[in-house]
Structure 1
Amino acid sequence: MRPARALVDLDALRHNYRLAKALHGDRALAVVKANAYGHGALRCARVLEGEADGFAVAAIEEAIALRDGGITAPILLLEGVFEAAELAEVDARNLWMVVHHAEQLRMLDGYTPKKPFNVWLKLNTGMNRAGFAPGQARELHDRLLAGGKVGRVTLMTHFARADEPDADATEQQFARFQAGAAGIPAEHSICNSAAILGWPAVRGNWARPGIMLYGADPMPLDGGQLKPVMTLESRVIAVREIAAGEPLGYGARFVAERPTRVGLVAMGYADGYPRVVPSGTPVSIDGRPSRIIGRVSMDMLTVDLSALDEAGFDSRVEFWGAEVPINAVAGAAGTIAYELLCNVKRVRFEYRGS
């Protein structure tokens, strides 16, 4: 069996949720969209259901998979519905939904639910991606409740730069939200992971922790309290030595400056490891630091064993996890941890903890 695998530590997931809720000081929806950021949405939701205040997903198909898998806790559709026909499923499966544009309001006008909907009204406070102007909050709040189709409204917004602690954009967005929500008898949902970790002044009511649940710090400001949930690893499947001046791999991007002992590893971009990382990107081999050398190919990549005399065939190689911070790999790839985690595929997933 090919040795590439992703180990998912469910106890670490539970720890990170508890940390998010403790820092926030109120209720928290665990965000499990995009297959729980690549970790397996149903497995993650089952572990958290006993203590999570609810879950958040991107779209109704993700919510249906959770409901069909036995999840009974509240589930919020972060993008709301995409067509009016979905409202029947929202109604039947007791889902919560975001409303962020006028077409969704019109869909609600044309449907009579068996029981009133729980709606999260999204305000655009500066991200300029989705949501209504804060000045419309009072009118829309009252409109939603007036017809009896909606029983509860939560006001929400989303920060564009909460992961930038030196930027004043978050304070400006928060001020706009407060102005729009002033005097409206509704709960609020403001904090994403970065806001939970770095902006205590904006905490309150419902938080929406996402990436921090999976142990990746978006800032980083948590002081090492988060625990990585996924460990991506494989094994050395062959060893060779190349002389000084010899090239290695596609494109001869690496040329040995000295005699180099090379480990071939069963991991590639078809597994989700980023092809764009340069030579020098960190890995851990049998618990000791090393580096990738040469270009990542579809199924294999190569690592430097020169300073690791005891490493060789079948040595364990960690690409990210407790030994290699995923943010270090993301930085080398010119991307973010979110993308790396969501892209993991083909490898064998193994779950630990309960």
Structure 2
Amino acid sequence: TLAMEQPWDWSQERRPRAVPTAMAAAWRAVTRALAGRVVIGEYRAVPGVRCFVLAPRDTRLDEGVGALVLWNESASGGDAVLNSYLGDEKVRVVDVFGNQEDAPLDPNYVAPMPDATGRVPVRHRPVRIPITASPIVVEGVDHRLVRFLASIELVPRDLPAVNTTHERSISFQNPWPGTLDAKFFVVSPGGIDAGGHRDRSWIVKPRASRATVLPGTTGILPLTIAYPPSEEAGERPFVIDVEPATDHTYGLIRIQRYMSVGLPEMEMRLASIGLRNGDLIVEADIENTSTGPINVELTAFAPGVPRIKATISSLAPGAHVARRFNYPKGLKTLAGQHVYVSATMPDTTARLNKSVLIER
């Protein structure tokens, strides 16, 4: 529900009159954007950014062109950017006062490489739109394409930090009125970079897959994922090229989704502490997030320094404890480098890795 109590001020003249405020201009721009439209979904392309998809309310007037309404709620400034291909129409950005401009194109766009047959696939250049706390309307988007892109997920998104293969899936929905033929190509991790070098640390199979999905239904494509024991915990981006085809062929569209590497049994937080004498302490705080006691073995790795070990025995559920690793004169010798800490649970293949950057 949108409401505006008083979009005007009273003038200071002898006979006061109502004078529209900047809020009135914003209200006019917003009502123009929403008139005759309905919210059909949310596009969670950027964590911390709210993005709603608008389509014509009257389906008889629906030619597939809609709009997005976006604003930044909690994303950091550098991350609050919508980077996506939004359709064949000219895309415009409208601010709350009705000012319009063409959506800027992504300056970091890289054209696709030729495939094995020498054919260069079509991949459209995405727009790159900075997002602030002030709402904007993005006009000219293909709302069915955006709903399709919004539906693409890697499920489940958690990857346990365990030395084994993991069975996951690409899930997506068909919002078009006709049958959808969708091709997916996992570019990274585990693919070939721009220099032609293959990342052999990750294994993702199959790298290419395809599904035909009826209107209003969900497609599921299985993935098998394996990665090295040295992989750090945290968010891992997956770059995927998608090629949807209905009665319209879109070409390749590059998207990015995330999977989270971690352990459900424990959390580890690292901190670096500098002492006045130039020594460095790296502190590892371990929390037991499981339902039973755990034993943990810690190993710290620093460049040019022998590894240091520590142990934690019978840590109770919900409890946490810290272990410290001391590096004499480490503030100078390790400045600008990372110290890595690996936490393992004996008699299992679980291995949680994290690092901390030593500030100069």
TM-score by length of 1: 0.30
- Which structure is higher in strand share? 2
- Which structure is higher in helix share? 1
TM-score by length of 2: 0.29
Structure of higher RCO (CA pairs closer than 8 Å, 6+ residues apart): 1
